Amino acid sequence: MNLLPEDVDRYMRSLAEGGFFDDPSLLEMEALAAERKFPIVERMVGATLEMLARSIGARTVFELGSGFGYSAWWFARAVGPEGEVTLTDGDLANARLAKDFLGRAGLADRCEVFTTSAVTALVAIGGQYDIVYCDIDKIEYPAAFAAAAERVRIGGLYICDNVLWSGKVADEENDEDETEAIRQHNEAVYSDPRFLPTINPTRDGLMVALRIS
């Protein structure tokens, strides 16, 4: 799941070292992801998430699909001690690991972790957020955007990972269910007048859509 040419990817990764990139909790999560082949957003996208959140002064983030807390680690840094990051994951073991990692990183004060179906939780909890971030099973992407759109405040961001799906979305012969669901999702965001969408092709494609109305 990496769309950049290998040498460009290597170059970008070589820049993302030292300083906060060497935080022990971040390195531990990255090591766990590598060991388990667990799909975290990785550091280039992680830093993008934090930069985006800081750039709009985000204080509230709702995550659909938090895994063991890697993407939330970046959001939690951005929102600061007064902020709130809501994590959701259907897997209890992931949710427990997320609590542990974020606790040891000193970020637990601003994080709430729910073990639940992410879209159902977003609908049930309601409210509005500065950022809604989507990284759940791809088949659920259309439902996720449908539920998220009104939950993003005007001036806030809907962010979604894997929207280029290893380039499969551009392969006209690929009619796999997940690819079709991502295409449907992307078209829904692009045709929604409430949002100004972009796709950053780092790693597997990160959609960033600003709510404008």
Ligand X SMILES: C[S@@+](CC[C@H](N)C(=O)[O-])C[C@H]1O[C@@H](n2cnc3c(N)ncnc32)[C@H](O)[C@@H]1O
> Which positions touch ligand X (CB under 6 A)?
39-41, 65-67, 70-71, 88-91, 94, 117-118, 135-137, 140
Q: Which is nearer to ligand X, 130 or 140 (CB)?
A: 140
Nearest-approach distance from CB 66 to ligand X, in angstroms: 6
In the complex, the smallest distance separating the C-beta of residue 111 from ligand X, rounded to whole angstroms, is 13
Angstrom distance (rounded) from CA 180 to CA 169: 8
Min separation Cβ 89 and ligand X, Å: 5
In 132-163, which positions are buried (b, 16+ CB within 10 angstroms) versus exposed (e)?
bbbbbebebbbbbbebbbebbbeebbbbbbbb
Q: How far is the CB of 193 from ligand X (least distance, A)?
A: 27
Taking the complex as a whole, the smallest distance from the CB of residue 116 to ligand X amounts, in Å, to: 7
Dist. CA 200–CA 202, nearest whole Å: 6
- β-pair partners for 196: 210
Nearer to ligand X, 65 or 142 (CB): 65
As beta bridge partners, residue 206 has 161, 200
- What is the phi/psi pair of residue 197, to 5°? -95, 150
- CA dist 170 and 212 (Å) reads 27
**Looking up tokens 């929102």, which residue turns up?**
79
Question: Which ranges of the chain does DSSP label H, i.e. alpha helix?
Answer: 6-15, 24-36, 42-55, 70-79, 92-104, 118-125, 141-148, 177-190
Beta bridge partners of 63: 133
Nearer to ligand X, 167 or 191 (CB): 167
Quick one: 117 or 174, whose CB is closer to ligand X? 117
> Which CB atom, from 21 or from 196, has the smaller least distance to ligand X?
21
Cβ-proximal residues to 86 (8 Å cutoff; 6+ apart), any chain: 60, 61, 62, 63, 112, 114, 121, 125, 129
Smallest distance from ligand X to CB 49, Å? 9
176 vs 212, which CB is nearer to ligand X? 176
